[in-house]
């Protein structure tokens, strides 16, 4: 334990920072470990070129590669979270909350009033996280996600107002 920890002032080992083109292979590997239909490095390169996209990485210690990321696309005063993923070894430890909280604050500072996302039904850890962050269910897309076993899962649409004047989508 370091001296800050002995004083009860320890900092989280995780930090959120922008990712760049040198991280695209790592981002693709993280995405592949989390989703049945993964994006490749070239997909992440295209996202990084898009000025409407915000892509934050979750870094630990001095590791130059991210262990997770959140990616959103902005349109006017709204944003959609397109993907959130963590390396297998970092899941279930509260790191997603750090990442999402930072990302949502940055979106709010950028003038975003409403954030949307979709999550696979049955993804209880993600649903719990989004609920704790204040997201509310607003719709359902039956059979939207393909599962590795060939079955289909519904997508639960969720929304979060970042300001009192943020528009809520119709349920």
Q: What is the pLDDT of residues 136-166, one digit of tens each?
A: 999 999 988 877 788 888 999 999 999 754 4
pTM: 0.83
Average confidence score pLDDT of the chain: 87
Query: CA–CA distance from 171 to each of 119, 137, 157 (Å)?
Result: 16, 8, 10
- Report the range of poorest mean pLDDT among 42-46, 114-118, 120-124: 120-124
Integer angstrom CA distances of residue 145 from 21, 36, 40, 155: 28, 9, 18, 7
Q: What's the pLDDT score for residue 34?
A: 87
Domains annotated on the chain, with CATH: 10-161 (3.40.630.30)
Confidence of residue 112 (pLDDT cuts 50, 70, 90): very high
Residue 72 contacts by C-beta under 8 Å, 6 or more apart in sequence? 53, 54, 79, 80, 81, 82, 103, 107, 115
Tell me what pLDDT residue 87 has: 86
| pLDDT per position as a tens digit, 15-30 | 999 999 999 999 999 9
Q: Residue 32 is encoded by which pair of tokens?
A: 């592949």
């Amino acid at each position: 334990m370091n001296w800050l920890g002995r004083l009860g002032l320890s900092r989280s080992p995780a930090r959120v920072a922008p990712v760049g083109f040198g991280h695209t292979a790592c981002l693709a590997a993280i995405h592949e470990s989390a989703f049945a239909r993964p994006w490749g490095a070239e997909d992440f390169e295209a996202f990084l070129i898009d000025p409407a996209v915000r892509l934050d990485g979750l870094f630990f210690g001095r590791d130059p590669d991210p262990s997770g990321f959140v990616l959103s696309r902005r349109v006017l005063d709204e944003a959609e979270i397109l993907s959130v993923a963590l390396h297998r070894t970092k899941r279930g430890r509260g790191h997603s909350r750090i990442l999402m909280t930072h990302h949502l604050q940055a979106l709010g500072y950028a003038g975003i009033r409403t954030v949307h996302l979709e999550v696979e039904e049955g993804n209880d850890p993600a649903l719990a996280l989004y609920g704790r962050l204040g997201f509310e269910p607003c719709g359902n897309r039956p059979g939207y996600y393909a599962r590795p076993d060939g079955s289909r899962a519904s997508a639960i649409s969720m929304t979060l107002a970042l300001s009192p004047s943020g528009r809520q989508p119709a349920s």
